[in-house]
Structure 1
Amino acid sequence: MDDWALPGFTEMGSLGEGGFGRVVLARHDESAQVVAIKYLYTRFAADPRRLAEFRHEAQVLSRVSGPHIARLHQFVETPQGAAIIMEAVHGISLKEILGRQEKLEPEAALAILKGSLLGLAGAHAAGTVHRDYKPANVLVTREGQSKLVDFGIAVLAGQAGVAAGTPAYMAPEQWAGGIATPATDVYAATCVFFQCVAGHKPYEAEQTEVLRTLHEYAPIPFGEVPEPVRDLIARGMAKDVAQRPSGAAEFVAELESSARKAYGEDWERNGWHWLAKGAGVLVALSPLALLGAGTAAAPVIAGGAAGGVAATTGGGIALGLKVTAAIAAVTAAAVGTVVVVNSGDDPAPPSTTTLAAMKVDLLTRTEKLNGFDYNGKYVRISGLKDKAVEERVNKALMAPIDEWLTSVWAPGNPPEKEPDGDIPHMSTTAEVLRQDDKLLSVVYERSVDTVQLGNHGSYDVRTLVIDLSGGDVISTAHLFDDVEGNAERMLKLENTFYASAKPGECLAEPPSRPEHLPARSMSGPNAEDRSIVQAAPATSGMVFYVSAYVLGYAMACSPTTVTVPYDRLVDLLSPQVKQLLGGTSAQRTKEADVGAFTLTTPETWKLLSSATPERQLVTADQCTGPQCANVLFSDNSRVDPATPAYEPGKPYNRSTGPRPCPSLGASAETQGSPVLQMKELRPIGTKKAAYEEWRLTCSGGGTVTQRVWFLPKTQLVIVDEWNTPGLDKILEEARWQ
């Protein structure tokens, strides 16, 4: 049934229906405030994909705020269904205005554009790209204000997505499912502005593919708009992202400057005055006005999520509206956790070194709690054949986050406010150290932005090692054989730390007052206390996190990190872990001399010699063909006609023709349509390399993630197209010659 409704609210009327939800006007029984409630159809409540999309929209709304953005009160999830409770606005959509008036005076269009751009600027400041700016998602109020609504397909800035949006307003990069940036929204907003002043959309075609071609290649028709705003149109609709304003805030500044120059200092007041003449009648006929409410909601967007609903004009329910006892009794607690994907949803390129179909994602979880909030990373897997095991693994991967959220401050003992009046902010980072078909190891680090816990009280680290055969967590103590509780073997383990420490690390120098690890250093006194020693397997060795103050080091060294090669631990590892690591030979490491530095790699990896500037470090055991997973090391100083130099700022390709796609098992296919996903500095040993991450589409339709490290002084280029597990850690531990 799709007539499920939240207890504690009295419905006042329907605001319409969309593809997978309906929007109603309702009065909150306790406060008598009018709200708009967006319901997910009951038939979709058991559909994980639909439910995740609905949660995603609520999460985005919780992150963005401001007078020009629809505001979230609550996201509620029950066995019957899910609902988003939002504020309501006394107003109508720009779509309705254009349906009655077709064309607006430039000052009026500029005034509407400014308000909605400020809404976009608020979203961009929160790291969110709307991706569906269109007339139906811009509300105009009778008070002379425009607001942005409907974040149903919004994504994080820098995230790739499918080609989603409204075709008439989609930027060229959006058609290809490229990286979403604030400039993507600027393009759509400019298209809408063009429509307002020209009386028609910038490009029109019956066939979608024709419309795509026009957006990608057709000249910008700025000659069809008044001369004073042509520069704005030309800038905002530039085909090249780099030639547009970087975001809505920058575009607003340009808009105001152009408007003042062309229409005088009173341009905005005049625009709203002109608009009020034509829009006033429409506002009076808006759904909420007809229902006798003091506020009104946006119309519904046909064919999509049930429409944009927006903000009260004053005196509304406080942010974070509490669910009434009646609701709680029926639904248990309203869901307060929302999840978004941090990076593109495309699966990682298949690798011959990872036999399982498992996909590992780094996700973001945000939550508002009693007295503090949380925004951090965690790891989630998918693709295991045994879904019961997959569920156990994901529950274990979430457990450290859940524990921190309830143990740092107990629910009944919230923190005080900070001296500046702010609340504490908790965050986490997550790193996958090793992943294959048998084992997954992850390290979480937690920090809290607060003065109430002290430097070390606000920091914690947890390692998590999971046997993927059954989803069982392997504690640090059980990684080793008869070490925990055995003083002699604990001392032997301790000595491997000193032997493996590298120059500059805390353990490389003797402490001021030498001590030894207690015999029981791997088990905390209770579940909330971290142990003195934690460990997790990585590709090149076992990574230890040690509370070094126990050994006599300064507190600044706690925890310190040291990676011990497996060959130093053979006699200490448990039989279970030896088997999971692939037997004794797989645990051993060897050095690979790549010229400028030496890497410590698993023994099965092979560095192949070559007469060309490129050398392959093959990471697949017993593999010699062109499909072998490998890391490429290239000497950029060696150039000839067949191998032109690699150019930073472009994908790696040292050939005169297109680069093939062997990492997809398709050597006959070629790479193209490059999209830069990340650009930063990353460590290689004690030095920093320029790092770029590219998303490339192969001629067969699959995608490759190409990771490139470049060291200008040595002219060494490192390329990974196989998502090689543990490679980052191996490069960080490189030893320069």
Structure 2
Amino acid sequence: MDDWALPGFTEMGSLGEGGFGRVVLARHEESAQVVAIKYLYTRFAADPRRLAEFRYEAQILSRVSGPHIARLHQFVETPQGAAIIMEAVHGISLKEILGRQEKLEPEAALAILKGSLLGLAGAHAAGTVHRDYKPANVLVTREGQSKLVDFGIAVLAGQTGVAAGTPAYMAPEQWSGGIATPATDVYAATCVFFQCVAGHRPYEAERTEVLRTLHEYAPIPFGEVPEPVRDLIARGMAKDVAQRPSGAAEFVAELESSARKAYGDDWERNGWHRLAKGAGVLVALSPLALLGAGTAAAPVIAGGAAATTGGGIALGLKVTAAIAAVTAAAVGTVVVVDADSDDPPPPPTTTLAAMQVEVLTRAERLDGFDFNGKYVRITGLKDKAVEERVNKALMAPVDGWLTSVWSPGNPPEKEPDGDIPHMTTKAEVLRQDDKLLSVVYERSVDTVQLGNHGGYDVLTLVIDLSGGDVISTPDLFDDVDGNAERMLALEERLYASAKPGECLAEPPSEPKRLPARSMSDRYTEDAAVVQAAPAASGMVFHLRAFALGYPMVCNPTTVTVPYDRLLGLLSPRVKKLLGDTPAHRTKETDVGAFTITTPEKWSLRSSATPERSLVTADQCAGAQCAHVLFSDNSRVDPSTPAYEPGKPYHRSTGPRPCLSLGAPGETQGSPVLRVNELRPIGTRKAAYEEWQLTCSGGGVVTQRVWFLPKTRLVVVDEWNTPGLDKILEEARWH
């Protein structure tokens, strides 16, 4: 049951409920002290992971103290559940104030920000990062103070973790589960300050994916706030952690200086005075006032001997003596955290996904045109500095496209129909493993100002994941670019690898030779005549075929050359990244209705079910191997229902596990259809759907499904299998 209560306390009313617990106002019967009690729902108390997270929140609270942080009194575990007893703050949340007033005077917002920053500074001094600073977690008291509450997702500074926080205020590094630093909290606090003075959040979007992009890449909208506080906004919301104040204490010093310069020495007193005009009535209606609690007496702190719980946990005791004594006597099992402990237990174990590569959407309105396109992002690298370099390189083709067509300050004209130009990108991951990532971007702009067909460009990107270095096309090969003889040898391999229907399959009317420096001489600002990128089944070349005498309609043409045809031309570095053995060579795999060309190390595994798994990992066993499913939808029985187009792939009566996130105990849910279109499998078109599924632990699975109704074949990929699109496009039907 979720209505259990700690003996010795009289509940006075509810302070709120959330997904994992409830908070009540209660009076301790013996001392008459008014406290807030946060109860973990009983159903989660039986979950070791949730209980560990709740216990860790109490450990975090025990590390921090000060007048601007709601104090911890006690953490209790009983056979019925768990609870955190903490200070009851006589005030209301900043969220409630903004709900009534929408916008605050700058001095008032600065006063609230200062107090809560001092609370953050106390946490930072104790080595803790809050990670969820938001209006609901800032309480404003009737005495003219702001206090910080709710350390439910806090971590020790320098720790990594899953992406956690409130999306409207999350720093760029939080989205990717990067290292938590005090500067992470500074970013969130600045976003809230922006909301206070601007009347709206700095970035707003209906889709979390778009909101993430805005926080990571959109310009800081400091022009929407009063001029005296623009520098504070610009500093606190800097995308680069290194450009922000290092922590709350440093930011408070900057705030004091800016406020005094802009609003005089009495800025803080004036700020609280102005806030009181609107918020005073609200504070008078706070739960403590309405429930007749009055001003809660300060707790009597007394030292005590270590308490040993029935579970064998020995921790120091430093809480309100009367509360601890009565609770222990009535309940029997009490775990009390020690505010002076130097070594708190580690945070609860959380399922973390391995390296993941995602294709995401970025959308924004710029000066005279808009952009809505795809980009690639990587998460899960052990070295976060390398991960940051890789993601900057992955975003560079988008940023470069947005500034190369129309330079800043030189916007395009409107189209003849009154519309504006529309820019977009497509992104495809060709190959990914622990050593190498390769991507191809198609970039286009819809405008008559660049000709009848607008602008179009292709750019390949190859990244060495060991250090985040970009490998240029010339560096993929050994003495080919600039060497006419070896460039000719590559040209012969391009012709030999062309498939029927491709431009290079037939000789041009006026043949030419590739220039010796085809890989470095630029055809456009960014792209050379020959570009290349490793894929699963070979090296993919994007070629400006006009250089060989073909018509412009062939620009660019794509040719995949198997690796075994390039062994004499590849650079030693790339051979090592691809593998020094012939393991990267390809083979033909018969999946039933058609045959595909896959890396030689991939293996097809059959089972008693209608599903066959094309395992793509080097060495693995069991259901958690990275794989592509080939499912026969004509085979149906009560335990294996048919796949239904328009719904996520699911062919069992029980929930589908989140295997691709390394979380077999979690299940998929909350489906969102992202893409619905036709895509080729060989010479035929398949119905293609792309679903986003949220796992019970909070992670997200991207499920891609190809369905061929006539053959009743379903292809399913939940592992972002590199090069799969290209492999299916080149399938050969029986």
Letter of the 1:630 partner, please give it: H
Residue 518 of structure 1: CA displacement? 0.7
Letter of the 1:563 partner, please give it: T
In the alignment, what sits opposite 1:403? 400
Letter of the 1:675 partner, please give it: P
Residue 662 of structure 1: CA displacement? 5.0
CA–CA separation in structure 2 for the residues paired with 1:502 and 1:614: 31
Secondary structure at 1:601 match in 2: strand
Structural mapping, 1:25-174, within 5 Å? 25=104, 81-82=190-191, 84=194, 154-156=205-207
In the alignment, what sits opposite 1:542? 539
CA 1:84–1:421: 2 relative to 1, 3 Å? farther
CA 1:87–1:626: 2 relative to 1, 3 Å? closer
Structural mapping, 1:39-438, within 5 Å? 81-82=190-191, 84=194, 154-156=205-207, 357-438=354-435
CA 1:615–1:500: 2 relative to 1, 3 Å? same
In the alignment, what sits opposite 1:683? 680
Q: Indicate if the aligned counterparts of 1:337 and 1:367 stay in contact, CA closer than 8 A.
A: no
Residue 666 of structure 1: CA displacement? 6.4
CA–CA separation in structure 2 for the residues paired with 1:78 and 1:159: 18
Letter of the 1:433 partner, please give it: L
CA–CA separation in structure 2 for the residues paired with 1:418 and 1:38: 48
1:533 aligns with 2:530: yes
CA–CA separation in structure 2 for the residues paired with 1:676 and 1:696: 7
Letter of the 1:677 partner, please give it: L
In the alignment, what sits opposite 1:95? none
In the alignment, what sits opposite 2:506? 509
In the alignment, what sits opposite 2:95? 18
CA–CA separation in structure 2 for the residues paired with 1:726 and 1:571: 23
- Of stretches 448-457 and 555-564 in structure 1, the one that deviates more from structure 2 is 448-457
CA–CA separation in structure 2 for the residues paired with 1:480 and 1:711: 39
In the alignment, what sits opposite 1:489? 486
In the alignment, what sits opposite 1:633? 630
2:728 aligned residue (727, 731, 734)? 731
Residue 681 of structure 1: CA displacement? 2.6
CA–CA separation in structure 2 for the residues paired with 1:386 and 1:482: 32
CA–CA separation in structure 1 for the residues paired with 2:705 and 2:206: 25
Q: Indicate if the aligned counterparts of 1:685 and 1:732 stay in contact, CA closer than 8 A.
A: yes
Q: Indicate if the aligned counterparts of 1:690 and 1:711 stay in contact, CA closer than 8 A.
A: yes
Structural mapping, 1:597-608, within 5 Å? 597-608=594-605
C-alpha offsets along residues 352-405 of structure 1, whole Å, 9 cap, x if unaligned?
A: xxxx93333434444544443433332232332222212222222222223223
Q: Indicate if the aligned counterparts of 2:632 and 2:712 stay in contact, CA closer than 8 A.
A: yes
CA 1:448–1:656: 2 relative to 1, 3 Å? closer
Letter of the 1:581 partner, please give it: L
Residue 626 of structure 1: CA displacement? 4.0
Letter of the 2:714 partner, please give it: V
C-alpha offsets along residues 560-613 of structure 1, whole Å, 9 cap, x if unaligned?
A: 222222222222111111111223323211110112211111100112355654
Letter of the 2:449 partner, please give it: Q
CA–CA separation in structure 1 for the residues paired with 2:508 and 2:222: 51
CA 1:474–1:670: 2 relative to 1, 3 Å? closer
Residue 429 of structure 1: CA displacement? 2.4
In the alignment, what sits opposite 2:323? none
CA–CA separation in structure 2 for the residues paired with 1:720 and 1:674: 18
CA 1:646–1:380: 2 relative to 1, 3 Å? closer
Secondary structure at 2:688 match in 1: strand
Secondary structure at 1:393 match in 2: helix
List runs of 5+ in structure 1 lacking aligned partners.
1-14, 28-34, 60-76, 90-148, 162-318, 339-348, 351-355
Residue 629 of structure 1: CA displacement? 2.6
Residue 484 of structure 1: CA displacement? 0.5
Secondary structure at 1:18 match in 2: helix
CA–CA separation in structure 2 for the residues paired with 1:406 and 1:695: 31
Residue 78 of structure 1: CA displacement? 9.5
CA–CA separation in structure 1 for the residues paired with 2:368 and 2:694: 46
CA–CA separation in structure 1 for the residues paired with 2:409 and 2:651: 61
C-alpha offsets along residues 193-252 of structure 1, whole Å, 9 cap, x if unaligned?
A: xxxxxxxxxxxxxxxxxxxxxxxxxxxxxxxxxxxxxxxxxxxxxxxxxxxxxxxxxxxx
CA–CA separation in structure 2 for the residues paired with 1:326 and 1:555: 55
Secondary structure at 1:561 match in 2: strand
TM-score (normalised: structure 2): 0.54
Residue 519 of structure 1: CA displacement? 0.8
1:579 aligns with 2:576: yes
In the alignment, what sits opposite 1:592? 589
Secondary structure at 2:516 match in 1: coil
CA–CA separation in structure 2 for the residues paired with 1:49 and 1:590: 50
Letter of the 1:482 partner, please give it: D
In the alignment, what sits opposite 2:614? 617
Identity, in percent, stands at 66
Residue 703 of structure 1: CA displacement? 6.4
Q: Indicate if the aligned counterparts of 1:364 and 1:377 stay in contact, CA closer than 8 A.
A: yes
- Of stretches 45-54 and 461-470 in structure 1, the one that deviates more from structure 2 is 45-54
Residue 538 of structure 1: CA displacement? 1.7
CA–CA separation in structure 1 for the residues paired with 2:396 and 2:390: 10
CA 1:460–1:705: 2 relative to 1, 3 Å? closer
1:478 aligns with 2:475: yes
Residue 157 of structure 1: CA displacement? 8.7
* Higher RCO (CA-CA < 8 Å; seq separation 6+): 1
Residue 438 of structure 1: CA displacement? 1.1
Letter of the 1:156 partner, please give it: R
Total equivalences in the alignment: 472
CA 1:492–1:335: 2 relative to 1, 3 Å? farther
Q: Indicate if the aligned counterparts of 1:671 and 1:696 stay in contact, CA closer than 8 A.
A: no
CA–CA separation in structure 2 for the residues paired with 1:670 and 1:322: 43
In the alignment, what sits opposite 1:236? none
CA–CA separation in structure 1 for the residues paired with 2:188 and 2:197: 24
In the alignment, what sits opposite 1:568? 565
CA 1:629–1:567: 2 relative to 1, 3 Å? same
CA–CA separation in structure 2 for the residues paired with 1:520 and 1:49: 53
Q: Indicate if the aligned counterparts of 1:683 and 1:732 stay in contact, CA closer than 8 A.
A: yes
Letter of the 2:712 partner, please give it: Q
Letter of the 1:18 partner, please give it: K
Secondary structure at 1:599 match in 2: strand
List runs of 5+ in structure 2 lacking aligned partners.
1-91, 122-128, 135-163, 172-185, 213-220, 241-350
1:553 aligns with 2:630: no
CA–CA separation in structure 1 for the residues paired with 2:683 and 2:543: 21
- Of stretches 440-449 and 687-696 in structure 1, the one that deviates more from structure 2 is 687-696
TM-score (normalised: structure 1): 0.54
Structural mapping, 1:654-669, within 5 Å? 654=651, 663=660
In the alignment, what sits opposite 1:292? none
